[in-house]
Amino acid sequence: MTRPVVSVRDLVVRFPSLDGSSEVRAVDGVSFDIRPGETFGVIGESGSGKSTVGRTLVGLLAPTSGTMAFGDRDRAAMTRAEWRTERRHYQMIFQDPNAALNPRMTILDSLTEPMRIAGGRSKADMQDTALAALEKVGLRRDMAQRYPHELSGGQKQRVNIARVLPLSPRLIVCDEVVAALDVSIRGEILNLFKELQDDLGVAYAFIAHDISVVAQISDRIAVTYLGQFVELGPTEGIIDDPLHPYTVALLSAEPQPLPTHLRHRRRMTLEGDIPSPANPPSGCRFHTRCPWATPDCASLEPEWRELKPDHRVACHHATEKGMPPLPVRESVSSD
């Protein structure tokens, strides 16, 4: 089997809370591989830890514990210099198209900046490479002389993609990269990501709160809740046959894509806010909002079980056919 681009085991990332009185368990024991050339989608509500996973993958945050291997190298075994060289191949693009663009720098300078930092190239080579990258993302070469304020949001996001291409990325973490764009532009940018992946074989970790966006581009999807993965499987399996109640709730909230078998059933609406990651519920963390919860769910943490090939779930009551019929309660609304 091909070696994963990145292998993560029991990743834990904790921060002190704002008042310093407790610890926020932003990520609490997640394990996954990202395979070469695949798009690994990560979805969840705000505060689920999905962005923290992404930032840790590219070295912007340090793990509290757990292991991360990049190709055949264990992160913990690399020297600082080795990691500095290795991490160039793991890049991140953010939601705000302006985040990585200095308003006082031309697009050409913004494009050559990452190459300048990496070192080892002549000025002429960096400029040629930058212009070629600009064309690769569908922008004209003459745009290199413009400033960010002269570009639309979609064009700026294309520049952000072009910035990371010369670094020969093996993995690009895309954190809500289309959330700030007009709906009409989103499809174009998603198509660009797909074209570049076909061409370059790069893998993506595609992070978003919008399951319909993630489903359009991902090969597999991980569903996050309060710092943990609750379900991970092939996109088709997650969308058409979700196994975890939280995934069912996320899909119920989406007009598209709605699994066919859910369209004729009661829809599930989530009540209440996501609990605080500083003080997560005991047992299954979803039990405070789950219509299927039983007394065991509040005391026993569910195992991470592979119920179908390549499809895992953390729920005491999930079966390979999904969940039993939803009990009629106040938290359930009819279509």
Residues lying near ligand SF4 in the complex (CB under 6 A) are found at 244-245, 284, 286-287, 290, 292-293, 297, 302, 315-317
Torsion over CA of 252, 258, 259 and 265, rounded to 10 degrees? 50
Whichever of 40 and 246 has its CB closer to ligand SF4, that residue is 246
Min separation Cβ 245 and ligand SF4, Å: 5
* Residue 132, both tokens: 């070629």
The pair phi, psi for residue 331, each rounded to 5°, is -85, 5
The pair phi, psi for residue 206, each rounded to 5°, is -105, 105
Give the Cβ contact number of residue 178 at 10 Å: 25
Whichever of 194 and 316 has its CB closer to ligand SF4, that residue is 316
Min separation Cβ 163 and ligand SF4, Å: 41
For residue 313, the one-letter residue type is V
Whichever of 89 and 244 has its CB closer to ligand SF4, that residue is 244
Tell me the chain's radius of gyration from C-alpha atoms.
Answer: 21
Min separation Cβ 305 and ligand SF4, Å: 11
Min separation Cβ 175 and ligand SF4, Å: 26
Whichever of 191 and 282 has its CB closer to ligand SF4, that residue is 282
Query: Cα angle vertex 178, ends 277, 245, to 5°?
Result: 45
Whichever of 85 and 294 has its CB closer to ligand SF4, that residue is 294
d(Cα 263, Cα 79) in Å, to the nearest integer? 53
Whose tokens are 């064009």? That residue is 155
Give the Cβ contact number of residue 160 at 10 Å: 24
* Residue 167, both tokens: 């670094």
For residue 151, the one-letter residue type is L
Whichever of 65 and 282 has its CB closer to ligand SF4, that residue is 282
Min separation Cβ 174 and ligand SF4, Å: 28
d(Cα 114, Cα 268) in Å, to the nearest integer? 46
Min separation Cβ 284 and ligand SF4, Å: 3
